[in-house]
Homo-oligomer: A and B are copies of this chain.
Amino acid sequence: MKKQKSSPTIKDVAEYAGVSIKTVSRVINDSSEVTETTKKKVLDAIEKLGYRPNALAKSLRIKRTYTIGVIISDIANSFFGNVMKGIENVAIKNHYNIIFANSDENIEKEKMYYQFFIEKQVEGIIIIPAPGSQSYLKKHAGLIPMVFVDRKPKDWDGIVVKVNNEEGAYLLTKHLIEVHGYRSIVFLATELDIDPVGERFEGYKKAMEEANLKVRVIEGNRTIEDGCKAIEKVLFSNKPQAIFGCNHVMTLGAIKATKKYSLEVPRDIAVVGFDDFESGDVLRPYLTAVAQDPYKMGEYAAELLFKQITKNEFIKEKEIIIPVELKFRESCGCLYVSNKVVS
C-alpha cells in the first residue's frame, strides 16, 4: 500500500520539536516573545521536515490572501507586457502575488475570470477592459478595489489610468497638416468602439475639421495583415497623402501595404501612428509616432490599487492621465538624423 506523501503541517513540526502549535506559529509569524533555545528547536524541526506553511489555510483564517487579480486583454502585445511588468513590480514590493488572466479581447472571458478572481478571494483587481460592456460588475458593486488601465470600462464608473489619446492624435494630425501640408489623411482604426481608438479618432477628426479637411476612416481589424489589406484598397482609387495608424499594429500594416506596391514612405506616402515600439527608432522608415509609457501606466495603476487595499484610501480622481510624447522621426516626412554621428 502506497502511503500518500502529504506535506508536513504545523502540527507535525510542533510534535517533532516537542512544543505546542502556538509556539511554532509564533516563530513563523511574530518571531518575537520566544526563547532563543525553543526558537532554534522549532527552526530545526522546520528544516528537518521540510515544512512550508499552507498559505490557503492561513488566508482562510486571517481573511487576507495577499493576492491581486490582473486581466490583460492581450499579453502577446508588448505594450500590455510592459503594463504587466509595471504592475508586477509594485505588487511584489507590497508582498502581493498576482493571479493572471488573458481575456483575448473577449468580454465573456473577462467576465468569467472576474468570477474566478472573486472566488479566489483576491484583494483587488486590475483590468484592461475588453470591448463590450462591463456591466457585469454591477452585481457586486464596490465589493473590491479595482483599477482599469488604458481603456475606460463601459457602463461602469471606475478608476482608469490612461493617456490623453485625443490630444496625442490631435497634435500629430495637426503636425501632418501644418508642417507637411498634407490635405488627405486616412485614419486606420481597429475597432472604433474600443475606448482609446475612438478617442484617437476624435483627435484626428478635430484636427481635420479645424482645417476643413475631409475625414476618412477605415476599420482594419486586429492583425498587421488585416491593416495591410484595408489600406491596399485606398492605394489606387483615391490615394491619400498620409495614413494615421491607430496603434502600432495598424501602422505596420499600413507600411506593409505601401511596400507591397513599391511605394516609398514618406516620399510617396506618409505613415504615422499611435504607439512607439522598439524597432521604430532602428529600422526604416524611422517611425513618427505618439509614444506612451506602458510600464509607468502599470506601476501607477498598481499604486492606486494598493492605496485602496492597504491604506483603505478613497481615490477621488476617476481618470489619471499619463502624458504622451510625440516622436518626430522620418515616416511623416521630417528629416531625422539623431541616430547618426556624422551626416
Residues on A lying within 8 angstroms of B by beta carbon are: 6-7, 50, 52-57, 59-60, 63, 65, 67, 70, 74-78, 80-82, 84-85, 88-89, 92, 97-102, 109, 115-116, 118-121, 139-140, 143, 224, 249, 252, 255-256, 259-262, 277-279, 281-285, 295, 339-343
Contact = CB atoms under 8 A, between A and B. Distances in A.
B97 A98 contact: no
B101 A120 contact: no
A100 B102 contact: no
Contact of A339 (B81, B102, B143, B259): B259
Contacts of A279: 252, 277, 279, 283
Given A50-B139, A55-B119, A75-B85, A224 B282 contact: yes
Contact of A340 (B7, B88, B260): B260
B120 A340 contact: no
Given A55-B121, A101-B88, A279-B279, A77 B81 contact: yes
A295 B331 CA distance: 31
Given A81-B76, A98-B100, A119-B55, A282 B256 contact: yes
Nearest to A142: B5
Contact of A341 (B81, B99, B260): B260
A247 to B, nearest CB: 12
Contacts of A259: 282, 339-340
Nearest to A117: B97
Contacts of A54: 60, 119, 121
B282 A115 contact: no
Given A75-B88, A261-B341, A341-B260, A252 B118 contact: no
For the complex of A and B, 8 pairs with smallest distance between CB atoms: A283-B283, A100-B100, A78-B78, A55-B119, A284-B284, A81-B81, A88-B102, A76-B85
A33 to B, nearest CB: 24
A203 to B, nearest CB: 24
Given A60-B56, A76-B78, A283-B284, A97 B99 contact: yes
Most buried by B among A70, A224, A282: A282
